[in-house]
Amino acid sequence: MGLKSNLHNLKEKYKGTKMAPAFNAIHTFLYLPNETTHNGTHIKAADDLKRTMNTVIMAMVPCLIFGMFNAGYQHHLALGTIEAAEGFLGSTFWTWDNLVVGIWKVLPLVVVSYGVGLIIEFIFAVIKGHEVEEGYLVTGMLVPLIVPVDLPLWMLAVAVAFGVVIGKEVFGGTGMNILNPALTIRAFLFFAYPTWMSGDKVWVHGAVERAGTADAISGETILGSYAQSQDVVYNYADMFYGLIPGSIGETSKLLIIFGALFLIFTKVGSWRIMLSTILGALAMGLIFNGVIDAGIITTSSKFYGLMSVPFWQHLIIGSILFGAVYMATDPVTAAQTNKGKWIYGFLIGFISIMIRVFNPAYPEGVFLAILLMNVFAPTIDHYVVQGNVKKRMKRLKVKTA
Amino acid sequence: MGLLSKKDTKLILDPLADNNPITIQVLGICSALAITAQLKASIVMSISVLFVLGVGNVVISLIRNIIPSKIRIIVQLTVVAALVIIVDLVLKAFAYELSKELSVFVGLIITNCIIMGRFEAFALGNGPWRSFLDGIGNAAGYGVILIIVGFFRELLGSGTLMGVKVLGDPIEKTGLYGFGYENNGFMLLSPMALIVVGLIIWVQRSRNKALIED
């Protein structure tokens, strides 16, 4: 109880001063406050914002841990010091050596992401005089999962500062943002430092510094190989289990599905958005397969490589599943109405695959598609609500007539 | 300040800050986004607009009483077009490289809303001297923002200022680049110009709360 009462005393001491929100934040982060709400409506519910955020974080932890092992695994595999692991429980995957490399590379990203993001949240809370909001908890966890392992830390810091200020605080903070802050951060990195965010060198630790030397190693992603119409060296099991190069947390489809089930079971994530995103991606994949079958696009086209990918395979390569489960479902930036969620998700999947195939400069389009649909989500909701109003008006007319 | 009365000084100084054409009236944004990737281009653009707006305002003000109001827009356009052509030819003659860089944007000064805006709002109803001051003031207000945006975009985007490598050489890894610093490619894209203008607006309005509209 020592720390709690100390924090409580500090809170009382600084009440009404500028620094109060900072102490309150530490207090409520660790403990339940002593007092209750003073006025207004009292709602009794077990899940507040903090609980919701923590649920999402819990759903992401397996991806993060897997990402650490995978970072080391890809590094050692590319160096040729270990054999390829056979399947998810392969003996050369879950090793201490892999984890050490992973922790060494991934933990700093997590620390920088949370450190910079929370400092900015604290500064804004103190300036604006409101409580520190929990909004950054999920963003801070998502960011390390969607960047390449070798990303320099200062770039991440700059991007996080940009994403939190421009993506969120200028709109009024947590709950008011139009764009998903984590994706804003990724988009900033992508356009600002493209050499660190795409290509065949960034996905495996050590590849960048070895480029051009006799020890050069390559870590082309599956999407990259397809885009250049090269052979893909990974089998479907590897893709599904995630033993492939890619951003840190998005490779293991198995763990993402577990995370998705967890989110759906706890009713934190919307199953409508997840399902419709997948349907949208499948629909676009089927259209492309149809175009190939009809012989409109032949092997001479630069789109042939990605267009000829079997439609279902789009789900296990790239980050479409990760985006669908953790990004598209963000309750603040997604559509709010049920019908709107179907449209919103479907278009995300549809546009993701379209960008993936048509724009070889951006081998992965999921983050662009989600940002685009974030912008349109309020419009979709507006028309869904208006449609509902119209329908009811008609019913009213029939009744009165 | 014997030359300028208090009212005249206000004509010049107001557009520099509290009535800035870009950050307060939000005019002339297109060129602010298009040519501010380099400081040099921003400066040349500012000087061009300064000339066009200053002289144009005087010309319009001188002939304001003989322009039939039905065709005043055409007359205004003719005046701007003539001035812009002068600027364009001068640039082509004395700064060909820069003129190529600015390409169509010099010609597009004609469509800069600030110019038509000042003709309509000020020069048509005021004498030549006051119109001249108003034109200079507004063009300077426009130029200040352009130069601030150009400064940050070129410094952070290319690591240079006026073409001089102030942060070191990115290929030979000297200066700041030796520590692993890299240029921010996003700064060279137009969206970042919009964001930088937005940040300037943000700073300006939080320093002077009276500027915030509901």
Tell me, yes or no, if A262 comes closer than 8 A to chain B by beta carbon. no
Question: Would you list the DSSP string of A214-231?
Answer: TT------HHHHHHTTPP
Residues A261 and A300 in one domain: no
Please count the other Cβ atoms lying within 10 Å of the Cβ belonging to residue B166: 13
pLDDT computed for residue A310 by the predictor: 83
Amino acid at B175: G
pLDDT computed for residue A40 by the predictor: 62
Pair A273, A344: CB distance under 8 Å: yes
Tell me, yes or no, if A172 comes closer than 8 A to chain B by beta carbon. no
Residue A148 lies in a domain: yes
CA triple B26-A173-A18, angle to 5 deg: 105
pLDDT computed for residue B1 by the predictor: 45
Tell me, yes or no, if B187 comes closer than 8 A to chain A by beta carbon. yes
Query: Could you tell me the CA-to-CA distances from A171 to A25, A165, A204, B123 in Å, in that order?
Result: 21, 9, 36, 39
Q: Measured between alpha carbons, how far is B167 from A293 in angstroms, rounded to an integer? A: 54
pLDDT computed for residue A91 by the predictor: 75
Q: Hey, are the CB atoms on B184 and A152 less than 8 Å from each other?
A: no
A324: containing domain: 269-401
Please count the other Cβ atoms lying within 10 Å of the Cβ belonging to residue A169: 22
**3-class SS letters over A85-139:** CCCCCCCCCCCHHHHHHHHHHHHHHHHHHHHHHHHHHHHHHHHHCCCCCCCHHHH
Amino acid at A39: N
Give the pLDDT band of residue A129 (cuts 50, 70, 90).
confident
Tell me, yes or no, if A193 comes closer than 8 A to chain B by beta carbon. yes
Q: Hey, are the CB atoms on B184 and A193 less than 8 Å from each other?
A: yes
pLDDT computed for residue A94 by the predictor: 82
Of the candidates B180, B181, B185, the beta carbon closest to that of A192 is on: B185
The total number of structural domains that make up chain A: 2
The answer to whether the Cα torsion of B204, B208, B213, B214 is positive or negative is: positive
Percent share of chain A, pLDDT over 70? 84
Distance (Å) from the C-alpha of residue B108 to the closest C-alpha of chain A? Answer: 28
**Tokens found for residue A103:** 């922790």
Of the candidates B182, B195, B198, the beta carbon closest to that of A193 is on: B182
For A329-345, write each residue's pLDDT tens digit: 888 888 889 999 999 99
Q: Hey, are the CB atoms on A191 and B185 less than 8 Å from each other?
A: yes
Q: Measured between alpha carbons, how far is A132 from A122 in angstroms, rounded to an integer? A: 6
Query: What letter does residue A325 receive in the DSSP assignment?
Result: I
Q: Hey, are the CB atoms on A154 and B180 less than 8 Å from each other?
A: yes
Instruction: Decide: helix, strand or coil at residue B161.
Output: strand
**Tokens found for residue A326:** 């953790």
Pair B131, B57: CB distance under 8 Å: yes
The answer to whether the Cα torsion of A129, A133, A135, A141 is positive or negative is: positive
Q: Measured between alpha carbons, how far is A27 from A9 in angstroms, rounded to an integer? A: 10
Residues A152 and A163 in one domain: yes
Domain closes at, from A225, A240, A267: A267
Domain closes at, from A224, A248, A267: A267
Residues A321 and A354 in one domain: yes
Question: Is B147 exposed, middle or buried, given 0-12, 13-18 or 19+ CB atoms closer than 10 A?
Answer: middle
CA A228 remoteness from chain centre: 26
Name beta bridge partners: B164. B161
Domain closes at, from A238, A267, A296: A267
For A211-257, write each residue's pLDDT tens digit: 655 566 666 677 777 776 666 777 788 888 888 888 888 888 889 99
Residue A29 lies in a domain: no
Ordered per-residue pLDDT tens for chain B, 214 residues:
456 677 777 777 778 777 788 888 788 788 778 888 888 888 888 998 899 999 999 999 998 888 888 888 899 899 999 999 999 899 889 888 888 877 778 888 888 888 888 888 888 888 888 899 888 888 988 899 999 999 999 888 888 888 788 877 777 777 777 777 888 888 888 888 889 988 988 888 888 777 777 6
How confident is the prediction for chain A on average, in pLDDT? 82
Residues of chain A contacting B202 with CB distance shorter than 8 Å: 170
Residues A80 and A213 in one domain: yes
The answer to whether the Cα torsion of B159, B162, B166, B168 is positive or negative is: positive
Residues A99 and A197 in one domain: yes
Pair B142, B49: CB distance under 8 Å: yes
Residues A250 and A281 in one domain: no
Residue A41 lies in a domain: no
**Tokens found for residue A315:** 């789900």
Residues of chain A contacting B201 with CB distance shorter than 8 Å: none
Give the pLDDT band of residue A114 (cuts 50, 70, 90).
very high
Cα distance from N-terminal residue to C-terminal residue, chain A: 69
Q: Hey, are the CB atoms on B184 and A166 less than 8 Å from each other?
A: no
Of the candidates B181, B186, B202, the beta carbon closest to that of A188 is on: B186
Lowest mean pLDDT among A80-94, A161-175, A302-316, B58-72: A80-94
**Tokens found for residue A158:** 């700059």
Q: Measured between alpha carbons, how far is B210 from B214 in angstroms, rounded to an integer? A: 11
Pair A196, A184: CB distance under 8 Å: no
Residue A19 lies in a domain: no
pLDDT computed for residue A214 by the predictor: 59
Q: Hey, are the CB atoms on A191 and B189 less than 8 Å from each other?
A: yes
Residues A195 and A281 in one domain: no
Residues A258 and A276 in one domain: no
If you compute the radius of gyration of chain A from its CA atoms, what whole number of angstroms results? 23
For A364-380, write each residue's pLDDT tens digit: 788 889 999 999 999 99
Residues A181 and A70 in one domain: yes
Torsion of the alpha carbons at A228, A233, A237 and A242, rounded to the nearest 10 = -70
Q: Measured between alpha carbons, how far is B77 from B67 in angstroms, rounded to an integer? A: 13
Distance (Å) from the C-alpha of residue B24 to the closest C-alpha of chain A? Answer: 18
pLDDT computed for residue A177 by the predictor: 86
